[in-house]
A and B are shown apart, each in its own frame.
Chain A
Amino acid sequence: MLEYKNDIWKALLALAPTLLLMAVFTFYPIVHTVVTAFMEGYSYGVWWSNGNTIGWLDHYGETVMQSSYDSSGNLIGFTQTYVGIGFGNFTSIFKDPTFLAALKNTAIMVIVSVPITVIIGLLISVALNSIKKLQGVFQTIYFLPYVTNTIALGLVFSVLFSSRNGLINSFIEAMGGSRVAWITPFGGGNPSYFTCLFVLMVYTVWDGLAFKILVFLSGMQSIDKQYYQAAQIDSTPRWRVFTKITVPLLSPMIAYITITSFIGAFKAYSSVIAIFNGRYGPRSNPNMLITVVGYTYDKLGKMSNVNEIGRACASALVLFAIIMAITVVELWISKKKVHY
């Protein structure tokens, strides 16, 4: 009997808060972003009047225009203007060298950071899984970056790599090398793309290891011990145990971690901002390592030009398309390679 009961009213009551919030903050934004991305020269705002003043509130609720006006009543109008519908926002961002640089930078960061983090994470997990003493201590240490503030520790990395007196340069000098202009100029030389990217990647790996180690280790601990005992009886060498038992049996976790890391790396933003103290690069080239997300937020912040919001939406959609494509390709690959 219970299987056929209908709880529609109870369900509506229970789902009401979530549905309401999602309607405003999830579903509406999806529609709004897609629509705006295709509106060329978009502008939106509200006319207001309080009797003798009339003003124009823009998209962000900021008064951009105000003039005295003798009016008998309150006038509140709503306008939304655009020049036309089309791919104008998309073509303009693809012509924008900053956006192209953002695409290139993001792609490089993803290609460098994801494999390094996944491989190091895997090796550390295997090492951790093979020891008994101090396992808990090491596990706790490796997890620390996860519970720290991204901005705070990004600032720390910029101090570590400071050219004047950072730990890294002091160490290089003590070893007999000469100082490097990592992210701040040194001895007349400005930091290069390579050194800036290097510092960012070290921070990204540092920040990303914790989660991967946690997932890999809990995956390994659920692998049946019989496989390892069988390998031990046959005195199989360690690397063969790793490639023939651990990796195949861990492949669902590896696939999961790779997909989530790719998505996370494509959304890089806070780490860049933190390392360069609010910019996307060293002072000599403040947009050097701008990312797609950074570009999107920059366009969002510029209120002077009505075209910018449409471009922000277009750029966010490009990011979404890239993430979708990568996810689909990875799922397709993992279907072939993953052993369940």
Chain B
Amino acid sequence: MDQELMLTEEELRKYKIKKTFANIGIYAFLVIFALFIIIPFYWMLATALRSEAELQQTQISFFPKDWVFANFRTAIQYASKQGVNFFKVFWNTILVGLFTTAGTLITTVLAAFAFARLNFKGKEVIFSIFLATMMIPGEIFVISNYATISSWGLKDTYIALILPFITSVFYIFFLRQTFRQIPNELYLAAKVDGTGDFKYLWKVMIPMAKSTITSITILSMMGSWNAYVWPNLVSGKNHLLVSNGLLSVYKDIDGTGTILSLQMAAATMVTIPLLIVFLLLRKQIMRGVSRSGIKG
């Protein structure tokens, strides 16, 4: 019987070879898809560095011939000739992102606190109605919100870009789950000590939900960086966000084509900041996204 369980030297060698081949296959598969992911980033950078003359040719090399770093400066100058201040577009996006995030945090923390900690009639009903709105595609809101914002005369203002987005049912739900995990004993102890509800929220609940709050901050900032549809509707030249600037600015003089090197230089400048933030906060971002499960 013992004999059957023992592997001979030959069998062990065969098993090892088989395993090595399987591993090579797995790594090859992963490398191919990694290249699929990375090549667009490379091509963006490579196109941003080529001269416009090189881009007019029909034969193109994998690496740029001359490295025209001046394209980045030219892209900014070209935008300003079109009446778009590149730095202002960045500044707008950051400003809108910060205010949207700050507003979202205030409203969602308070609402999640009410749903998680307070007792009041109709709590479950209101919460269910909130959750039900998550099923509705955002496009339905966009139509009427555009009319609302316009009729208030808020088109082409920061408020138009911020106000409709400073609350989120999803984040309320997300935070409520975290708040509910805080043990009840802490609350009872705080009550015995005469701590008020809002002080308890500020001193105990918020610090304990720090990682969820960090996730919400990151996701909300990323949302502003990616926003396209809404700013495209309500923004004029003074309040463009990065996505809108990219698409509209780099048309060539007769308006039929695009100046590719400059557009790609601008695309690179829009992409790099977020990539740097991601590489710095990799763990928090990935944890936040996998726990929350939505984009933006």
Interface residues of A (CB under 8 A from B): 2-8, 10-11, 13-15, 17-18, 21-22, 24-30, 32-33, 36, 44, 46, 57, 59-62, 120, 123-124, 127-128, 130-131, 134, 138-153, 155-157, 159-160, 162, 164-167, 170, 206, 209, 211, 214-215, 218, 238, 256, 260, 263-264, 266-267, 269-270, 273-274, 277-278, 283, 293, 296-297, 300-301, 309, 312-313, 316-317, 319-320, 323-324, 327
Contact = CB atoms under 8 A, between A and B. Distances in A.
A46 B282 CA distance: 51
Interface residues of B, number: 100
B82 to A, nearest CB: 15
B133 A26 contact: yes
Contact of A143 (B41, B130, B286): B286
A125 B281 CA distance: 22
Contact of B267 (A144, A156, A267): A156
A153 B40 contact: yes
Interface stretch (B70-78, B83-91, B208-216, B271-279): B271-279
A14 B114 contact: yes
A36 B44 CA distance: 44
Nearest to A218: B290
15 contacts: A7-B120, A14-B114, A17-B107, A131-B23, A141-B37, A155-B264, A162-B260, A164-B58, A165-B59, A166-B60, A170-B59, A263-B137, A269-B229, A297-B139, A309-B147
B37 to A, nearest CB: 6
Contacts of B290: 214-215, 218
Contact of B37 (A28, A145, A301): A145
B244 to A, nearest CB: 8
Contact of B145 (A25, A134, A139, A144): A25
Contacts of B30: 124, 127-128, 131, 138
Interface of B is mostly: helix
Given A61-B153, A300-B233, A142 B120 contact: no
B247 interface: yes
Contacts of B38: 141, 144
Interface in B131-177: 133, 135-148, 150-153, 155, 163-164, 166-167, 169, 172
Given A11-B120, A25-B141, A159 B260 contact: yes
A184 B243 CA distance: 22
Interface string B256-296: 10101001100100110011011100100110011001110
A144 B43 contact: no
Contacts of B233: 297, 300-301
B85 to A, nearest CB: 19
Contacts of B33: 120, 124, 142, 209
A320 B115 CA distance: 28
Contacts of A218: 290
Nearest to A299: B143
B243 A151 contact: yes
B196 to A, nearest CB: 9
A218 B151 CA distance: 46
A53 to B, nearest CB: 17
Contact of B136 (A2, A30, A167): A30
A133 to B, nearest CB: 9
Contacts of A139: 286
- Residue among B140, B146, B198 having the largest count of chain A Cβ atoms under 10 Å: B140
B190 to A, nearest CB: 11
Nearest to B108: A18
